[in-house]
Structure 1
Amino acid sequence: MQSSDPRHFFESDAEVAKRERRAAKSSNKLGNPISLKSKILAAIPDPRAPSRSILVAEAAGCVRQVNLDSAYSPSQNPDEPSRPTYRGPTTPVCSVAVGGPNNGTLFAGCWDKTIWSWDLATRVPGRKFVGHSDFVKAVVCATVGGKHVLISGGADKKIIVWDVVTGQRLHTLQDSAVNMLSVQDLMVDVEASTKDEISLVSASSDPHIRRWKIRLDGWERVPDQSESGPGIILEHETTVYRLLLDQTGDDVDLWTASGDGTAKCLSRAKGFAVEDTITHGDHVRAVAVTDQWVITAGRDEDVKVWDRASGKLQCSLVGHYDEVIDLVVLDGGARVCSVSLDGTVRIWQLDQAGLDKAVKDQEKWAAGEQEKKEEAPASLLSPEEEAELAALMEEDD
């Protein structure tokens, strides 16, 4: 009899401790979790109701609309009508975007090397875009020269520009000067774009952030030195996972999240030099900003809220029990939504009273967990012996 239970295989003490910690943490209700059926790999606001709904990419091979203002319990069916689902892929969905004519098409980059599309309103499948030779890790939509385009980035180190209406591949962008690794994120710099030229920013598994100019008749990487700043930005030590255009103030700057444990604000006025650095501590997978806060999240499972003026840590929001992948700001900065590989969506109030309550709730939860540990009888078996006993009992069944 075969088993996928990790307890039936060799595990280090650290792996056993991590598994037990996550199992104990999985039942918490911090952040009012909405539980889905698989790992969540990306999230964007739903343009039809950006303050109440998000669209999430799932490892189960679908995109799901999640109403954030409705309460669900994990026992409820995630496929119920109030959770409209876009189906078709049989592999994990890595990225999502909405665009096309009337902003009416949903696009999903997948592990199957293609980009799927659906009518956003009816969920009817549309065109498939085929051209990448590895996972499609990022998708973004734009218009140029009056044409709606889709831009995708893959683990094959390529950025492809597509005509949304015809499905034609317009351009394939690659950096031959500086070796570009797997594309992690794409962002249209709306401040630097015109009706005839898209200004695109890309992040990848190498630490370089690249800037590109895309027209209908061609493309180019912004030269390393130009009037608008350097074409390649090198301010991180390793993978850059996320790019964010900060439009909360007068200056529109670029925020980044990296595997080097930091999130950085790159000043456009200073040629994209570092203006601020937030040291989260572990791999930072997501960053979000409001007028008052900088929010970071990643591998350590916590959502951290930083005072934007001072750079000091305001609080850590505990609740997720696996890596946090994405953050979506809601209601003009009143709330932030976090999504995780643990399959949950959690919503956090960002006013001071809401943050204070969240901290008190998690302190109360932690105290309860400690009390359970103290009351529980100590096991007479080692973790290895418990795993062996579980295997023997399973064989008896």
Structure 2
Amino acid sequence: MTKPRPCLRAWMGGWWIRGVWDLAVGEQVGEPLTGHNDLVGSVATAVVEGRPVAVTGGADGTVRVWDLATGQQVGDPLYIVDDNWVRAVATTLVDGRPVAVIAVYGDKAVRVWDLATGRQIREPVHGHDDWVWAVATAVVDGCPVAVTGGHDNTVRVWDLATGQQVGPELMFSSEVWALAVTPDGGLVVAFGQEVAVLCPR
């Protein structure tokens, strides 16, 4: 059984998650998580109904949820799109429920799925003018938000309770490839060959 530890990580290779590692002791926990039918390209973690889980997205167009205590897939895959792959996955809580925020390769939209029910929440959120490459989540003034970066050189913030964009987009000089939110509310943005650190006011 998975015991509380400072941190766990999963690393990917081929058509499976190669392993979950206990960062406190540097040891692998359990066997690789197998089930995707194509390359696995994104991973996040969450707690669903009291269970620590990994949420993975793959080139088979699915998002899958894995019980980290047993290594077993939880429920059916969340089907996203035919002949495409899930580019990015992030997790958070909306109204106390765990959700996955998903970006699909070649798509301008962002999708939100309820991880407990396996159902998509509302219609996809549109706003980017080109493909969405990166997704992160945060809580701003008590409101859960998604932060997205795209091929249109912008970073946008979305209120996950309403699906509406929050404020104007942030413009960069090149495509935004990756995002991370710092514990103090800052934002790290990888664009082109550069990295910017935006500090909260």
TM-score over 0.5 (shorter chain): yes
Residues 191 and 297 of structure 1: CA distance in aligned 2, closer, same or farther (over 3 Å): same
Residues 287 and 147 of structure 1: CA distance in aligned 2, closer, same or farther (over 3 Å): closer
Higher relative contact order (CA 8 A, sep 6+): 1
Runs of 4+ aligned residues of structure 1 deviating over 4 Å after TM superposition are 288-295, 305-309
Show the counterpart of 1:239: 131
Show the counterpart of 1:144: 48
**2: CA distance, partners of 1:150 / 1:289:** 19
Show the counterpart of 1:276: 168
Match of 1:296 among 162, 186, 189: 189
SS of the equivalent of 1:190 reads strand
Instruction: Give the counterpart letter for 1:102 in structure 2.
Output: P
Show the counterpart of 1:123: 26
Determine whether 1:174 maps to 2:79. Answer: yes
TM-score (structure 2 length as normaliser): 0.81
Is contact 1:180-1:204 (8 Å) kept? no
Is contact 2:61-2:85 (8 Å) kept? yes
Residues 140 and 295 of structure 1: CA distance in aligned 2, closer, same or farther (over 3 Å): closer
Segments of structure 2 that go 5 or more residues without pairing to the other structure are: none
Residues 124 and 289 of structure 1: CA distance in aligned 2, closer, same or farther (over 3 Å): closer
Q: How does 1:28-43 map to 2 (within 5 A)?
A: none
| 1:180-211 Cα deviation digits (max 9, x unpaired) | 831122121224333xxx22211121222111
Residues 112 and 305 of structure 1: CA distance in aligned 2, closer, same or farther (over 3 Å): closer
Q: How does 1:51-90 map to 2 (within 5 A)?
A: none
TM-score (structure 1 length as normaliser): 0.44
Cα root mean square deviation, aligned: 2.8
SS of the equivalent of 1:276 reads coil
| 1:254-294 Cα deviation digits (max 9, x unpaired) | 21111221111223465323522111021101335677965
| 1:217-270 Cα deviation digits (max 9, x unpaired) | x4111232xxxxxxx111113332222223353444321111221111223465
Among the aligned pairs, what percent are the same residue?
A: 26
Determine whether 1:203 maps to 2:103. Answer: yes
Instruction: Give the counterpart letter for 1:167 in structure 2.
Output: G
Segments of structure 1 that go 5 or more residues without pairing to the other structure are: 1-99, 225-231, 310-397
* Greater fraction of residues in helix: 1
Q: How many residues align structurally?
A: 195
Residues 296 and 124 of structure 1: CA distance in aligned 2, closer, same or farther (over 3 Å): closer
Show the counterpart of 1:36: none
* Greater fraction of residues in strand: 2
